[in-house]
Amino acid sequence: MVIGALPCFAGELAVLKNGFSIKHERRAIVGELTRLYVSTDGSSFVDVPTAEIEHFEVAPEDAVDVAAFAKNAKDGATKPLSSGVFPGQPVVDLSQVVKEASGRYRLDPDLVNSVIKAESGFHVRAVSPKGAQGLMQLMPGTASQLGVPNAFDAQANVDGGTRYLRELLEKYNFDLVKALAAYNAGPRRVEQFGGVPPYYETRAYVARIVKDFNKKKIAQGKSAGTRNNVVQQKGAQAKQTAVAKSSKSAPRTTVAAAKSE
């Protein structure tokens, strides 16, 4: 795996070909993917196929973080204007949409991002052969139950999918593997087989998400370790400085004491 760092303006937007934009602090090339670091410390990131990125632009300070992409689109292909503004819609910040939904249903946004990556590859209008739709690939029946009238509305889709994932986690006592298997194959199949169904697609799906999620957590651990090392080094330097000052003042104290005696 080859990682090449690229310069990036603070608060930059990666505008995708599907009309989505992802706000990030910096980016790096990882093979055929572009890694977008959505946190300032680099602990949280999203991997997007480089070929799916239309262009990069500086994020406006007053960027609208709401999703209204393709509500009335018929062909599912909306081309950006030369200015980077998409017709009939505000810029959508995926990281913000995921952050808000994750906070609402008390889930790790990295987990939600990993599910979106496995489900749709961040394609707003993705449709599976079985009819699942949108970023988190909601089946029409499931979307209806979750109160999502338009599965191609990015914000509504992520909200519904995140809520459904939370419900599955609660159903299986927060067993992530079972919850992911149920998200892919349905709760009935998980109950039928007492766990992950013996389907290659489902097992590969679960493994893919767990691997991607763990990769993010490992990166966060390394980032935290680096910060701790910096703090420890500063602490050690401060201690050495204090000892040096104490050593310099000690002889004067001794002399003063000797004179008083």
Nearest by Cα to 113 from 213, 204, 203: 213
Q: For residue 60, count other CB atoms closer than 10 A to its CB.
A: 10
Q: Which of 54, 119, 167, 261 is catalytic?
A: 119
What torsion, rounded to 10 degrees, do the Cα atoms 143, 144, 146, 149 define?
Answer: 80
119 is catalytic: yes
Amino acid at 208: R
Q: What is the DSSP letter of 96?
A: H
Q: What is the DSSP letter of 79?
A: P
21 forms beta bridges with: 15, 93
Separation of alpha carbons 218 and 63, rounded Å: 31
Which active-site residues does the annotation give? 119
